[in-house]
Structure 1
């Protein structure tokens, strides 16, 4: 288990953002902008069966190294469904987060949610570099992943600390072996440049884009790099662009505890007492992992925290979490293990997906802040006060995630200011656990006074659009379909 949804890739060293230091080819001045996409029937992927309906797939060629646009290229898998109405506006590109999420796998399942937008837009997504079919990386095999499940991600002794950090170093070595040269060319800035190439090849004068979670970071970086190419951009479940590694971990600790409090209150329990009971369960699992119905597998403290974290992303998981906690208090960890497996991408056959592999490659290339184990230990008292359930894990994660990473990180914080860009709609959910609400206001401010427009939803779960608020959905739809920019600060309750 890595950090909870590492939607915190940091981007944009100033030297790499200048027009003369590599970047998307200008309109029509490079063969890559003139490439024709060979759209055809989509096949099955490692994560999903072949989609039905009118979904089409193609491969886009992009430079491996954007500072050498005439050099080696890589293939990026794209998926689209053409606009269904007569008044087509262009392409609407989606990034669903991660980093590491496959847009090719995710978009068909999101089609019903954005059916209104589909009337006027071609729906388009892709597998970013390092992800799935986008020259994807696999840092370790299933056997190695299973072995790592027994490690304590909140080490309590020098031996556990050495094992935890040693595993992190081995993971990085495996990533480097798998990714090769891509290990240094999978940053969010690289992907933002891919996105502008995609825009040109698709034939759009400006970019219409819907970024969710880490996709908001990518959208903000795109707006900074190409402010005059911003069309209608929606950023939902927003990453705080002002927070560093420790700041993001603290934000998530608060966010997940806030969501846990909401869950406990929904069950009629006292949130403080319920938190203490869950923390006590985790302490017992730390000392002695729990039996499950799966032969050879036990519920560890780390897997239990992972399962609980998954349930914070949507209140639709809350009934399942209640049953899982009740079973665990009776000595059966099977249901919490099932929640953790779902988060970790483990299927019924025991095979693991690679989302977290790409996530780590991208975020560790972006992030040059590398707290040490000593620095993580100093965070523990503060993080434990923020959340007795999630604090220890997220404090230690600041040191373990990119420990001894073979490639240096590039940036401290993203540069998302976009002077001269068209208005960008920033959507924040007050109950979001993984990208807490405060980050939405900061993103809107960083984009700029005349660019960032904040829409607030007083809801629960990760993300706002399509989550049950007619107010949010109609506001976003009006912006994307008609260019209607809402008042900055509008609140949907």
Structure 2
């Protein structure tokens, strides 16, 4: 299987849905108009496009108000700002409180890269009710994502095959097939999206955000970045330090790591989360249905995955639950402690010969809805990562690294090691070894790290604080589980974040919440 997007890409909203559109594309010509002077036309939001994942238009806000959507024009090529334009899809909920106390817009990016902010913000909108008292809540589909000139690679049928094949090859023939399938996927991206591929770097998205700030009428960008959104926020702060307002980085990407270091860190992070799940399950008063001890839980999972490599289970007809799909599904369930019950149920079901729940979890990670349609999450994730990341890894190089990855995680090591070949023969060179987030002169940025975070391990928060520079990053630690901290609803975390965003009160550096 061409390697799946790096695991930091998962979006929790899709799992919540599974388990409980006018596209503004590349312009036809150039324009001499100053895009910063454009006026947005806000209208009732349409149903999400197929590239955003499909589904229904967002439900009204708690007070009955409708979500509003608009399209912002941005240069296709920021190196030629008078050239062709693309449309950047936006969504907002207007501030609910006294307008005299309104601070401005609070822009969210929920991560990926490749996640649709236009669909994710309404899914989690109730979590930000307090913030909405003083801000318009705003999110967007970054360029290449959803309704913002989406990158397109393979079609739904091809993607079903893509995700059914083996992403952890065991011999020369399987390795050759992995590399060949990766090349085919990447060639499809070039064929179907050649014009966009050079222009989906994180630096491009950061420039879009500064244009967004201007078009929204704000002197400063007030920002809430989650997961990859912290990397995007860091790049923005580097490019526009004087334009940073009140900013939160939650679930923090380590900006000092290259692809290999990031993948190895994730192997350790997901193994830690699996260890925590196993201990939690076996420490309860009732018997744990998937193992007698924490080690027994992990041993049974390893045995399941080994068996699936040779004999998949029935999944969602006509697809089968393969080793890769099961690993992917297990990883998705570790993004939130709220999903551990689904992992328990999915494992119980798999041990009885039924792979449907683990496959649903895997489908969520991959952006597949119940109708068999894929969002463009995977295509955008690969395109943005490959445009950002300079390293290009060979199969021989990865083979040499397997012992280190397996030591980091017996369950996820191979999976994440082989993810490093995803940019094989990519059409566009990568920009850098890692992002530059140094931001001297920026306003304080609250950096929130979660000690149990699988996708963006806790150590990345300190690395982000150091990289932002003296007097910019302010670290807050949450001793918890799952990806990110604010949506855990921990009162201490939420009080600190709300206090900064609403009242400008920066918590003391080194604050710990548990």
Q: Would you call these one fold, judging by a TM-score over 0.5?
A: yes
Does 2:236 match 1:233? no
Which residue, 482, 487, 490 being the options, matches 2:503? 482
CA–CA distance in 2 between the matches of 1:107 and 1:150? Answer: 30
CA–CA distance in 2 between the matches of 1:123 and 1:291? Answer: 43
User: What aligned pairs does 1:88-237 form with structure 2 within 5 A after superposition?
Assistant: 88-237=102-251
Which residue, 56, 65, 69 being the options, matches 1:49? 56
Paired position in structure 1 for 2:28: none
CA–CA distance in 1 between the matches of 2:200 and 2:356? Answer: 37
Whether the 8 Å CA contact 1:368–1:411 is kept in 2: the answer is: yes
Whether the 8 Å CA contact 1:7–1:98 is kept in 2: the answer is: yes
Segments ≥4 residues shifted beyond 6 Å:
none
Paired position in structure 1 for 2:91: 79
Whether the 8 Å CA contact 1:383–1:392 is kept in 2: the answer is: yes
CA–CA distance in 1 between the matches of 2:38 and 2:489? Answer: 40
Whether the 8 Å CA contact 2:68–2:91 is kept in 1: the answer is: yes
Whether the 8 Å CA contact 1:6–1:359 is kept in 2: the answer is: no
Paired position in structure 2 for 1:409: 430
SS of the aligned residue for 2:92 comes to strand
1:312-346 Cα distance to aligned partner (Å, 9 max, x none): 01111112211211222222222211221222222
Change (3 A) 1:276 1:133: same
Paired position in structure 1 for 2:397: 375
Does 2:471 match 1:450? yes
Paired position in structure 2 for 1:2: 4
Q: CA deviation at 1:7?
A: 5.3
CA–CA distance in 1 between the matches of 2:400 and 2:295? Answer: 24
Q: TM-score, normalised by structure 2?
A: 0.89
Does 2:270 match 1:284? no
Q: TM-score, normalised by structure 1?
A: 0.93
Paired position in structure 2 for 1:33: 36
Instruction: Structure 1: state its 5+ residue gaps.
Output: 9-28
Q: CA deviation at 1:54?
A: 2.6
CA–CA distance in 2 between the matches of 1:362 and 1:217? Answer: 12
Q: Report how many aligned residue pairs link the two structures.
A: 471
User: What aligned pairs does 1:232-251 form with structure 2 within 5 A after superposition?
Assistant: 232-251=246-265
CA–CA distance in 2 between the matches of 1:339 and 1:205? Answer: 41
Q: CA deviation at 1:116?
A: 0.4
Could you say what the CA RMSD is over the residues aligned between the two structures, in angstroms? 1.5
Paired position in structure 1 for 2:493: 472
Q: CA deviation at 1:406?
A: 1.5
Paired position in structure 2 for 1:396: 418
SS of the aligned residue for 1:54 comes to coil
Change (3 A) 1:327 1:7: closer
CA–CA distance in 2 between the matches of 1:218 and 1:88? Answer: 25
